[in-house]
Amino acid sequence: MRKLFGTDGVRGVANLEPMTSETAMQLGRAAAHLFMRRAGRHQIVIGKDTRISGYMLESALMAGICSMGVDVLLVGPMPTPAIAFLTRSLRADAGVVISASHNPYQDNGIKFFSNDGFKLPDEMEARIEELIVSKEISHLRPTADLIGKAYRIDDAEGRYIEFVKRSLPKDLDFQGLKLVVDCANGAAYKVAPKVLRELGAKVEVIGNEPDGMNINQDCGAVHPQQLQHAVRYHKADIGIALDGDADRAMFVCEQGTIIDGDHVMAALGLDMHQQGVLAKQTLVGTVMSNFGLELSMAKVGIKLVRTPVGDRYLLERMLAEGYNFGGEQSGHFVFLDHNTTGDGLVSALQMLSLMKRTKKPVSELAKAMSAVPQILLNVKVARKPDLKSVPDIDRAIRASEERLNGNGRVVVRYSGTEPLLRIMVEGERDTLIKEVAEHLAQIRGVSLERIAELTTANFDRTFRRVAQHQGSS
């Protein structure tokens, strides 16, 4: 059983274990030791988002890494995908990102990239844990002139901006497009507006005044309501919402409607297929991808393969089987032709490129798929026992699948980054899937009125009152 690493690095409440300066320093020491594989001086890149706790954790990581004889390259607040790129560009041994992504500012996290820009495999994370838990790392200490140094990389932002722009054809610009970008008061608050303006778009910006405590607060990909209002107010062609570390992007169409990740995947996947650049005519989604995506893509000759939730699992499948495009409902999209991890800015540019080339609005492009009704309920939990070890839940899931009679799906899983049990039900009949989802939630002793979130694909108005009630409680 892992003690430190979850599905996306180490994450928790800042200044409580494991997100303490003490543990961060040990993580830095263990990672530095693990990545010293070649001759000569060694370097590790450190980037962060805008959380106030980032200063503390950055200093602790830097101290730990330098204590092992490895130099640190500091780039300050930068998107997670920028660290993946910069690790490769600067020929560093590894990269570290200090961020809790879409979580509130009280949380923070630490995740690592290897020198090729990919997140660490499970076995390397396990080895870092072992070095710390066994205290083996405590006995490894270079001295005096062997201790590492820290350097600030002043041109990191410019390097990443040029890298992102290279994901587009040289002759393509966004002249004539008006957009709103919500930077979530996070890591992309500087680079995102610059990239979009340099490409010729008229840009209105919100969520670009971080104060250390407002990251993801009522803004960004997790809370796009402010963006919806701004798109309507400015009469923009599209709205782009990034999350705190800018590895995901959500979109709002010209009418002010949210376009979820499945519809974006369908539009971009169909375009790649038509251009002949979609590897093996296959999209990689997750178990949470709407069944409508699978049906719509099958009609045009595109296969959908599913993985567990999490961009690391998307990547593993893509690398293992030679696919080049995958994504999640949440707005994580991986374009392996452009970057080694999810990149919100690259995703935004691909969507804008599609709009510009086809001269179609986002609302029209989103019609590449038709969603089947889906309910997602998030239930707060104190513990995460194996679901198969809880007979009531296991029986309820099987009974729910029988009720759907092959015309729908049930997915019950824990969030890998938050204390939540996620219940997803989809099928042909709105009323039936609502009943099934509510029953599953009540197995946990939680009524609908206490559900943390409720979203729907096709019948939002039906349950809007429930969602509004929850938002006020």
- Which positions are catalytic? 101
Question: Which residue, among 402, 373, 367, 400, has the nearest Cα to 291 in the 3D structure?
Answer: 373
In 10 A of CB 19, how many CB atoms?
23
Cβ-Cβ contacts under 8 Å for 471 (sequence gap 6 or more): none
Tokens of 182: 């919500």
What is the Cα–Cα distance from 324 to 194, expressed in whole angstroms?
Answer: 27
Tokens of 410: 């049930």
What is the Cα–Cα distance from 240 to 218, expressed in whole angstroms?
Answer: 15
In 10 A of CB 364, how many CB atoms?
14
Q: What is the 3-state secondary structure (H, E, C) of the chain?
A: CCCCEECCEEEEECCCCCCCHHHHHHHHHHHHHHHCCCCCCCEEEEEECCCCCHHHHHHHHHHHHHHCCCEEEEEEECCHHHHHHHHHHCCCCEEEEECCCCCCCCEEEEEEEECCCCECCHHHHHHHHHHHHCCHHHHCCCCHHHCCCEEECCCHHHHHHHHHHCCCCCCCCCCCCEEEEECCCCCCCCHHHHHHHHCCCEEEEECCCCCCCCCCCCCCCCCCHHHHHHHHHHCCCEEEEECCCCCCEEEECCCCCEECHHHHHHHHHHHHHHHCCCHHHEEEEECCCCHHHHHHHHHCCCEEEEECCCHHHHHHHHHHHCCCEEECCCCCEEECCCCCCCCHHHHHHHHHHHHHHHCCCHHHHHHHCCCCCEEEEEEECCCCCCHHHCHHHHHHHHHHHHHHCCCEEEEEEECCCCCEEEEEEEECCHHHHHHHHHHHHHHCCCCHHHCCEEEECCCHHHHHHHHHHHHCC
Tokens of 44: 């590790």
Q: Tokens 């600067």 label which residue? A: 90
Question: Which residue, among 293, 276, 263, has the nearest Cα to 337 in the 3D structure?
Answer: 276
- What separation, in Å, do the N-terminal and C-terminal C-alpha atoms of the chain show? 35
